[in-house]
Amino acid sequence: MPALIFDCDGVLADTEQYGHLPAFNRTFAEFGVPVQWSVDEYAERVKIGGGKERMRSILTPALIAELSLDDDASTDATILAWHKRKTEIYKGLVESGVMPARPGIARIVKEARDAGWTLAVASTSAEPAVRAVLTHAVGKDLAAHFAVFAGDVVPAKKPAPDIYLLALRELGVSAHDAIVVEDSGNGLRAAVAAGLTTVVTVSGFTREEDFTGAALVVSSLGDPDGEPVEVLDDPHGVGVSGAVTLATLQALLAAASTATSPAPSTGTETP
Protein backbone atom coordinates (compact mmCIF):
# COMPACT_ATOMS: atom_id res chain seq x y z
CA MET A 1 0.00 0.00 0.00
CA PRO A 2 1.13 3.62 -0.51
CA ALA A 3 2.65 5.72 2.26
CA LEU A 4 1.57 9.20 3.32
CA ILE A 5 4.39 11.13 5.00
CA PHE A 6 3.89 14.50 6.69
CA ASP A 7 6.29 17.19 7.73
CA CYS A 8 5.34 18.54 11.17
CA ASP A 9 5.72 22.29 11.64
CA GLY A 10 3.36 24.30 9.46
CA VAL A 11 1.83 21.10 8.05
CA LEU A 12 0.13 19.34 10.96
CA ALA A 13 -0.53 22.61 12.80
CA ASP A 14 0.31 26.31 12.58
CA THR A 15 3.22 25.87 14.95
CA GLU A 16 5.82 28.41 13.90
CA GLN A 17 4.35 31.79 14.88
CA TYR A 18 2.28 30.58 17.83
CA GLY A 19 4.53 27.83 19.13
CA HIS A 20 8.18 27.88 18.14
CA LEU A 21 8.63 31.67 18.05
CA PRO A 22 7.33 32.33 21.60
CA ALA A 23 9.19 29.24 22.85
CA PHE A 24 12.48 30.51 21.43
CA ASN A 25 11.92 33.99 22.86
CA ARG A 26 10.93 32.70 26.32
CA THR A 27 14.01 30.48 26.35
CA PHE A 28 16.32 33.35 25.44
CA ALA A 29 14.76 35.46 28.22
CA GLU A 30 15.14 32.69 30.82
CA PHE A 31 18.82 32.21 29.97
CA GLY A 32 19.55 35.94 29.92
CA VAL A 33 20.26 35.99 26.18
CA PRO A 34 19.62 39.53 24.84
CA VAL A 35 17.69 38.34 21.77
CA GLN A 36 13.96 38.53 21.05
CA TRP A 37 12.89 37.69 17.51
CA SER A 38 10.07 39.62 15.89
CA VAL A 39 7.71 37.83 13.51
CA ASP A 40 9.58 39.29 10.54
CA GLU A 41 12.97 38.28 11.94
CA TYR A 42 11.71 34.78 12.67
CA ALA A 43 10.42 34.47 9.10
CA GLU A 44 14.09 34.55 8.06
CA ARG A 45 15.21 32.10 10.78
CA VAL A 46 12.55 29.61 9.64
CA LYS A 47 14.63 29.10 6.52
CA ILE A 48 17.28 27.45 8.72
CA GLY A 49 16.52 23.76 9.24
CA GLY A 50 16.54 22.66 12.88
CA GLY A 51 15.93 24.44 16.19
CA LYS A 52 19.48 24.12 17.49
CA GLU A 53 20.75 25.47 14.20
CA ARG A 54 18.43 28.47 14.47
CA MET A 55 19.70 29.14 17.99
CA ARG A 56 23.30 28.85 16.87
CA SER A 57 22.64 31.46 14.17
CA ILE A 58 22.41 34.24 16.81
CA LEU A 59 25.95 33.66 18.04
CA THR A 60 27.88 36.64 16.74
CA PRO A 61 31.43 37.13 18.07
CA ALA A 62 30.13 39.88 20.36
CA LEU A 63 27.39 37.67 21.83
CA ILE A 64 29.78 34.74 22.24
CA ALA A 65 32.05 37.02 24.31
CA GLU A 66 29.12 38.43 26.30
CA LEU A 67 27.90 34.92 27.18
CA SER A 68 31.46 33.74 28.00
CA LEU A 69 31.31 30.85 25.56
CA ASP A 70 35.00 30.06 25.61
CA ASP A 71 35.22 27.13 23.21
CA ASP A 72 33.25 24.80 20.97
CA ALA A 73 32.46 22.42 23.82
CA SER A 74 30.91 25.12 26.01
CA THR A 75 29.00 26.51 23.04
CA ASP A 76 27.60 23.08 22.13
CA ALA A 77 26.58 22.41 25.74
CA THR A 78 24.88 25.80 25.97
CA ILE A 79 22.93 25.26 22.74
CA LEU A 80 21.79 21.84 23.99
CA ALA A 81 20.59 23.35 27.29
CA TRP A 82 18.73 26.12 25.49
CA HIS A 83 17.12 23.68 23.09
CA LYS A 84 16.05 21.29 25.83
CA ARG A 85 14.27 24.10 27.66
CA LYS A 86 12.79 25.46 24.44
CA THR A 87 11.32 22.01 23.67
CA GLU A 88 9.74 21.88 27.15
CA ILE A 89 8.14 25.29 26.67
CA TYR A 90 6.97 24.39 23.18
CA LYS A 91 5.36 21.14 24.32
CA GLY A 92 3.47 23.08 26.97
CA LEU A 93 2.15 25.44 24.30
CA VAL A 94 1.07 22.49 22.14
CA GLU A 95 -0.75 20.83 25.03
CA SER A 96 -2.50 24.10 25.92
CA GLY A 97 -4.29 23.98 22.56
CA VAL A 98 -3.08 27.32 21.23
CA MET A 99 -2.12 25.73 17.88
CA PRO A 100 -5.10 24.06 16.20
CA ALA A 101 -4.52 21.40 13.55
CA ARG A 102 -4.46 22.70 10.00
CA PRO A 103 -7.62 22.08 7.95
CA GLY A 104 -8.01 18.58 6.57
CA ILE A 105 -5.23 16.89 8.55
CA ALA A 106 -7.34 14.66 10.81
CA ARG A 107 -9.75 13.91 7.96
CA ILE A 108 -7.16 12.77 5.43
CA VAL A 109 -5.22 10.81 8.05
CA LYS A 110 -8.39 8.89 8.89
CA GLU A 111 -9.09 8.29 5.19
CA ALA A 112 -5.56 6.97 4.68
CA ARG A 113 -5.62 4.79 7.79
CA ASP A 114 -8.99 3.29 6.79
CA ALA A 115 -7.60 2.55 3.32
CA GLY A 116 -4.56 0.76 4.77
CA TRP A 117 -1.96 3.37 3.85
CA THR A 118 1.30 3.59 5.81
CA LEU A 119 1.48 6.79 7.87
CA ALA A 120 4.60 8.66 8.98
CA VAL A 121 5.99 12.03 10.04
CA ALA A 122 9.45 13.13 8.92
CA SER A 123 10.69 16.31 10.59
CA THR A 124 13.89 18.00 11.69
CA SER A 125 12.21 19.15 14.92
CA ALA A 126 12.86 17.40 18.24
CA GLU A 127 10.98 14.10 18.49
CA PRO A 128 9.10 14.91 21.75
CA ALA A 129 7.78 18.10 20.16
CA VAL A 130 6.78 16.29 16.95
CA ARG A 131 4.90 13.60 18.85
CA ALA A 132 3.09 16.24 20.90
CA VAL A 133 1.96 18.10 17.77
CA LEU A 134 0.94 14.87 16.04
CA THR A 135 -1.17 13.69 18.95
CA HIS A 136 -2.80 17.09 19.31
CA ALA A 137 -3.53 17.31 15.57
CA VAL A 138 -5.00 13.86 14.91
CA GLY A 139 -5.80 12.42 18.35
CA LYS A 140 -4.15 9.66 20.34
CA ASP A 141 -5.76 6.76 18.47
CA LEU A 142 -4.73 7.91 14.99
CA ALA A 143 -1.28 9.04 16.20
CA ALA A 144 -0.60 5.47 17.32
CA HIS A 145 -0.60 4.40 13.66
CA PHE A 146 2.31 6.70 12.73
CA ALA A 147 6.00 6.03 12.41
CA VAL A 148 7.92 9.14 13.54
CA PHE A 149 11.32 10.14 12.18
CA ALA A 150 12.50 13.33 13.84
CA GLY A 151 15.31 15.34 15.33
CA ASP A 152 18.95 14.34 15.07
CA VAL A 153 18.37 10.89 13.54
CA VAL A 154 20.16 11.94 10.33
CA PRO A 155 23.41 13.89 9.89
CA ALA A 156 22.04 16.54 7.50
CA LYS A 157 18.73 18.32 7.92
CA LYS A 158 16.37 19.64 5.25
CA PRO A 159 16.88 20.66 2.46
CA ALA A 160 19.09 17.56 2.44
CA PRO A 161 16.96 14.48 1.63
CA ASP A 162 18.36 12.39 4.51
CA ILE A 163 15.25 12.34 6.70
CA TYR A 164 13.07 11.18 3.81
CA LEU A 165 15.56 8.58 2.64
CA LEU A 166 15.65 7.24 6.21
CA ALA A 167 11.85 7.12 6.34
CA LEU A 168 11.61 5.23 3.06
CA ARG A 169 14.27 2.75 4.15
CA GLU A 170 12.72 2.12 7.56
CA LEU A 171 9.18 1.91 6.19
CA GLY A 172 10.26 -0.43 3.40
CA VAL A 173 8.45 1.73 0.85
CA SER A 174 9.55 2.77 -2.64
CA ALA A 175 9.67 6.49 -3.40
CA HIS A 176 7.20 5.79 -6.22
CA ASP A 177 4.66 4.56 -3.65
CA ALA A 178 4.93 7.46 -1.20
CA ILE A 179 3.60 11.01 -1.14
CA VAL A 180 4.73 13.82 1.14
CA VAL A 181 2.92 16.86 2.54
CA GLU A 182 5.27 19.80 3.14
CA ASP A 183 4.89 23.54 3.67
CA SER A 184 8.28 25.05 2.86
CA GLY A 185 10.75 25.34 0.03
CA ASN A 186 13.42 23.56 2.08
CA GLY A 187 11.06 20.71 2.85
CA LEU A 188 9.99 20.43 -0.78
CA ARG A 189 13.61 20.28 -1.95
CA ALA A 190 14.36 17.56 0.58
CA ALA A 191 11.40 15.45 -0.52
CA VAL A 192 12.00 15.93 -4.25
CA ALA A 193 15.67 15.06 -3.83
CA ALA A 194 14.52 11.78 -2.28
CA GLY A 195 12.38 11.14 -5.37
CA LEU A 196 9.06 11.79 -3.62
CA THR A 197 5.83 13.21 -5.00
CA THR A 198 5.12 16.26 -2.84
CA VAL A 199 2.03 18.28 -1.98
CA VAL A 200 2.71 21.71 -0.50
CA THR A 201 0.24 23.31 1.91
CA VAL A 202 1.58 26.84 2.24
CA SER A 203 1.73 28.63 5.57
CA GLY A 204 1.94 32.31 6.42
CA PHE A 205 5.72 32.10 6.59
CA THR A 206 6.19 30.19 3.32
CA ARG A 207 3.52 31.33 0.86
CA GLU A 208 5.96 33.36 -1.27
CA GLU A 209 8.67 30.67 -1.46
CA ASP A 210 9.70 28.83 -4.62
CA PHE A 211 7.76 25.57 -4.95
CA THR A 212 9.08 24.45 -8.32
CA GLY A 213 8.88 20.66 -8.44
CA ALA A 214 5.79 20.29 -6.26
CA ALA A 215 3.04 18.03 -7.60
CA LEU A 216 0.38 20.29 -6.09
CA VAL A 217 0.47 23.58 -4.16
CA VAL A 218 -2.60 24.52 -2.10
CA SER A 219 -3.57 26.78 0.76
CA SER A 220 -4.40 23.73 2.91
CA LEU A 221 -5.77 20.21 2.56
CA GLY A 222 -9.16 21.63 3.49
CA ASP A 223 -12.38 20.06 4.71
CA PRO A 224 -15.58 19.58 2.66
CA ASP A 225 -17.59 21.68 5.13
CA GLY A 226 -14.89 24.32 5.59
CA GLU A 227 -13.33 27.11 3.56
CA PRO A 228 -12.61 25.95 -0.02
CA VAL A 229 -9.00 25.15 -0.80
CA GLU A 230 -7.11 27.70 -2.88
CA VAL A 231 -5.11 25.95 -5.60
CA LEU A 232 -1.86 27.83 -6.22
CA ASP A 233 -0.30 25.35 -8.65
CA ASP A 234 -1.61 22.12 -10.18
CA PRO A 235 0.98 21.05 -12.78
CA HIS A 236 -0.59 17.60 -13.29
CA GLY A 237 -4.09 19.00 -13.68
CA VAL A 238 -5.62 16.64 -11.11
CA GLY A 239 -8.10 19.26 -9.94
CA VAL A 240 -9.20 19.97 -6.38
CA SER A 241 -12.88 20.49 -5.63
CA GLY A 242 -13.20 22.01 -2.17
CA ALA A 243 -10.66 19.76 -0.43
CA VAL A 244 -7.68 17.51 -1.12
CA THR A 245 -8.84 13.90 -0.72
CA LEU A 246 -7.19 10.51 -0.76
CA ALA A 247 -8.37 10.20 -4.36
CA THR A 248 -6.43 13.41 -5.13
CA LEU A 249 -3.26 11.89 -3.66
CA GLN A 250 -3.77 8.67 -5.61
CA ALA A 251 -4.16 10.67 -8.82
CA LEU A 252 -0.92 12.55 -8.07
CA LEU A 253 0.97 9.30 -7.50
CA ALA A 254 -0.38 7.93 -10.76
CA ALA A 255 0.54 11.13 -12.63
CA ALA A 256 4.06 11.11 -11.18
CA SER A 257 4.50 7.44 -12.12
CA THR A 258 3.42 8.14 -15.69
CA ALA A 259 5.75 11.13 -15.92
CA THR A 260 8.77 9.07 -14.87
CA SER A 261 7.98 5.96 -16.90
CA PRO A 262 10.10 5.32 -20.00
CA ALA A 263 8.45 5.99 -23.33
CA PRO A 264 6.82 2.90 -24.87
CA SER A 265 8.84 1.09 -27.51
CA THR A 266 7.85 1.64 -31.14
CA GLY A 267 9.69 -1.46 -32.25
CA THR A 268 11.96 0.58 -34.57
CA GLU A 269 14.89 1.34 -32.24
CA THR A 270 18.35 0.14 -33.17
CA PRO A 271 19.72 -2.32 -30.60
Contact 26, 15 (CB under 8 A): no
Output the CA–CA distances (angstroms, integers) from residue 26 to 74, 85, 191, 253, in the order listed: 21, 9, 32, 42
* 8-state DSSP, 261: S
Q: Which of 156, 88, 170, 159 is nearest to 121 (CA)?
A: 170
From the list 7, 162, 183, 223, the catalytic residue is 7
Dist CA 256 CA 58 (whole Å): 41
Q: Which of 223, 3, 240 is nearest to 115 (CA)?
A: 3
- For residue 58, the Cα-to-chain-centroid distance in whole angstroms is 23
One-letter identity of residue 17: Q
> 9 catalytic, yes or no?
yes
From the list 9, 14, 183, 223, the catalytic residue is 9
DSSP code per residue over 131-174: HHHHHHHH-HHHHTTEEEEESSSSSS-TTSSHHHHHHHHHHT--
Residues classed as catalytic? 7, 9
